[in-house]
Amino acid sequence: MDKKLKILLVNDDGISSPGIVHLAEMAMQLGEVWVAAPSSQCSAMSHCITVRGSLQIRQEDFPVPGVM
């Protein structure tokens, strides 16, 4: 049985950063790729939490065909 990996890529540099685009292209060779990233650069936010207000999630077109 030939199973493809399901790969989730995340970053804090933004959905259109060159690094995550390149990584997604390479990961496509290994399996199904999903990307979760902020709409813009958010480095050093790993200690930040959302307590009040809303967290908005939306699907974006990704520049690598086949990546969700």
| pLDDT at residue 32, as a whole number | 94
Handedness of CA 12, 16, 20, 2 (dihedral sign): positive
What digits encode the pLDDT tens for the residues 3-40?
Answer: 789 999 998 888 889 999 999 999 999 999 999 988 88
Global confidence as pTM: 0.76
| pLDDT at residue 8, as a whole number | 95
Residue 62 structure tokens = 């990704």
